[in-house]
C-alpha cells in the first residue's frame, strides 16, 4: 500500500495547484495513475490509468486490459474497482477517491456510482465518450449517489500520453 506523505505542510506556489485548487497530494496520486497508463501503453493497450485512494493510501491500481483480457469491460476504472472491492472485502467503496487519467465513459461512471466512490479526479476530457460533461453528463443526473467530480488535474500530461498513442497507431497504419 502506498501512503501519501507530505514533505512539508507549506502550500507550494505552483500555478497549476492554485488555479485548480489541486493539492500536492492530488498531483501525487494522478502521477501514480499516469504510471498505470504507461503500463497499459507498454502492453499496447489504450493508455488509461486509475488509482483508488482511501485514507490517503492507494488501495488499488488499474489500467486498460481490454485487449489482454479480451474483455470490453476491462477499463482502468473497472479493473481498479474490482481490486479495491476485494481489498476492502466490500462492494461499496465509501470514502474513497479515484484518480483517472481520462474522463470516464458511461459504463465506468455507472460503476463508480454503484461503488459509492466519493470523489473523482480526472486529467483530460474525452470529447467522444466522456460521461462527466463531454459526451454525457452523468453526475448531473438525479441518482441515489453523487460523486464530486474534479477535472483538469495534470490535464496536459494525461492528454499527451493518449494523443501520442493514437498518433503512433495511425502512423503504423493500425485502425483506431
Q: Please state, as a whole number, how many other Cβ atoms lie within 10 Å of the Cβ of residue 174.
A: 10
Is 77 one of the annotated active-site residues of the chain? Answer: yes
Can you name the residues that pair with 62 across neighbouring β-strands? 50
Angle among Cα 129, 69, 64 to the nearest 5 degrees reads 40
Q: Which of 77, 155, 164, 175 is catalytic?
A: 77
At 150 the three-state DSSP class reads strand
Catalytic residue positions, numbered? 77
Amino acid at each position: 500500500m502506498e501512503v501519501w506523505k507530505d514533505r512539508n505542510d507549506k502550500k507550494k506556489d505552483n500555478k497549476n495547484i492554485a488555479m485548480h485548487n489541486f493539492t500536492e497530494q492530488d498531483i501525487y496520486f494522478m502521477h501514480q495513475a499516469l504510471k498505470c497508463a504507461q503500463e497499459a501503453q507498454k502492453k499496447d493497450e489504450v493508455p488509461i490509468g486509475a488509482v483508488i485512494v482511501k485514507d490517503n493510501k492507494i488501495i488499488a491500481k488499474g489500467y486498460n486490459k481490454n485487449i489482454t483480457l479480451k474483455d470490453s469491460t476491462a477499463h482502468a476504472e473497472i479493473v481498479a474497482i474490482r481490486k479495491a472491492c476485494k481489498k476492502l472485502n466490500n462492494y461499496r467503496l465509501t470514502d474513497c477517491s479515484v484518480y483517472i487519467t481520462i474522463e470516464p465513459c458511461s459504463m465506468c461512471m455507472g460503476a463508480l456510482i454503484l461503488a459509492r466512490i466519493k470523489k473523482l479526479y480526472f486529467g483530460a476530457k474525452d470529447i467522444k465518450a466522456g460521461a462527466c460533461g463531454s459526451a454525457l453528463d452523468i453526475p448531473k443526473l438525479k441518482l441515489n449517489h453523487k460523486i464530486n467530480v474534479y477535472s483538469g488535474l495534470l490535464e496536459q500530461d494525461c492528454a499527451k500520453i493518449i494523443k501520442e498513442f493514437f498518433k503512433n497507431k495511425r502512423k503504423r497504419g493500425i485502425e483506431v
